[in-house]
Amino acid sequence: MATDILLELAQVLEGRKRADPESSYVASLYAKGLDTILKKIGEEATETVIAAKGGDREQLVYETADLWFHTLVLLAHQGLGPEEVLHELERRFGLSGLKEKAARNET
């Protein structure tokens, strides 16, 4: 199940916080800090857009996986996990997107 994979990956990413940055790509991202993680997400988002524009479904899946992965790294860095995002998506399920957006703009 997709949720299980996200939760397993989140556990691995959490464990990488204690890893040596010389031995782990994720640990090196954590060591470099928030700006480096955000830059990587920006790169992956751009590559995802390019893949979608190019019409290559396989490349789109690959780039989306990279984007999701690095977003999970960001969440872990900020002390969050996929559970919080999944709960928010669940909260929104069945809501009109237009109404939900309007409600956010009222505050």
- Is the distance from CB of 73 to CB of 13 less than 8 angstroms? yes
CA 3 to each of CA 61, 84, 89, 92: distance values in angstroms, whole numbers, following the listed order: 17, 12, 12, 17
The reported pLDDT for the residue numbered 95 is 74
Q: In the chain, how many H helices and how many E strands?
A: 6, 0
Other beta carbons within 10 angstroms of residue 11's beta carbon come to 12
Helices 34-54 & 57-77, crossing angle to 10 degrees? 160
Average pLDDT per 10 consecutive residues for the chain, totaling 107 residues: 90 96 97 98 98 97 98 98 94 76 69
